[in-house]
Amino acid sequence: MLNYAIDWATKKDLAITNNGKDVKFISATIEEFSKFLNSLDGDKCQFYFEEGGGDSFKLLANKNNHKVFTIIGKLVNDRRDELEIEKNDENDVKIIFNMAKDNPELFREFALLDIITAKVCVLFKIRSDTEQNLVRAKNRLFSLERRLELLDLGKDKQKLLEKEKDTIKELEGQFKLQTNTLGKLINEHPIWKNYLKDKKGIGAVVAGGLIAGIKRASKFDDKYSLRYYAGMIEKKGNQTFNHQLKRTLYFFIEGIIKARTPKWRELYDNMKIYYADKHLDWGKGKINNYAKKFVQTKFLDELYKKMVEIENARASL
């Protein structure tokens, strides 16, 4: 059975090697993924990935009956530091290949829970892209209407606007369908079944954002690592965090406040009182923001614990 290591990168080519020496690159598109897998002439292979990305390739490889294994990115980074090698895609994919050969126990198989999570991640990204296109289309329509008003075109103005309106209508239909389909996928995920579904104010979109943002909680050293990753703890200097996950936590807090979700809404109200009493010089806006962030952080901690429990339970089956 052939072994391949793959290093993924957002919006960049995938680096691939099957010997730890020679590296080739393929474009990060479904068409190129299919072309590459078809070139294997039916040979069953094992693919070794760093966790966090490459979901479409992983799903496609799994669908073609190949084995997929993943490793926590920190372990790859630590090995690179030990070897004192420059970080780049070519070096990383060689490190992944050699780690798969020398330390296969560090990898875990891309199994059922990972497949469900990857499906959620892919559809959530598709829906996010449609949402962005919809916003752009509406902005174009607004701008076009203002510009055409300068021309005094009468009935011709509406004809010129029809195409943009049709585009918006089509995108709205796609967006609605993608949202409904995301809800069906979310229903299959254990974190929804065993935790999120009972929380008022948390729907499929927020659940999808949390799953897509975190993916596998046990890849984080502890809850504090996840807090940094979600942008809940500020670092000095340049801070890198998952903007999509932080945005999802914003929608979470707005949802639970509006729905008066038991436990979390009460905690939010209590923290507003606490901050108001402790910081008499703070304005209402600052008090509100700190109370929201406190609740977001505590919810993230609890979600982290639940996800790790589910992942450990699945791993032991």
CA proximity to 248, closest of 211, 288, 216: 211
Q: Which CATH superfamily is domain 2-110 in?
A: Ribonuclease H-like superfamily/Ribonuclease H (3.30.420.10)
Contacts of 12 (CB under 8 A, 6+ apart): 28, 89
pLDDT for residue 236: 59
What span, in angstroms and rounded, lies between the C-alpha atoms of 165 and 172? 10
- Show the low-confidence residues of the chain (pLDDT under 70): 10-11, 235-239, 315-317
CA proximity to 211, closest of 235, 236, 247, 245: 245
Domain positions in the chain: 2-110, 120-188, 204-315
pLDDT for residue 103: 95
CA proximity to 193, closest of 211, 175, 217: 211
Query: Tens of pLDDT along 162-186?
Result: 989 999 999 999 999 999 999 999 9
Query: Tens of pLDDT along 201-253?
Result: 999 999 999 999 999 998 899 999 999 999 998 765 556 789 999 999 999 99
CA proximity to 49, closest of 37, 61, 40: 61
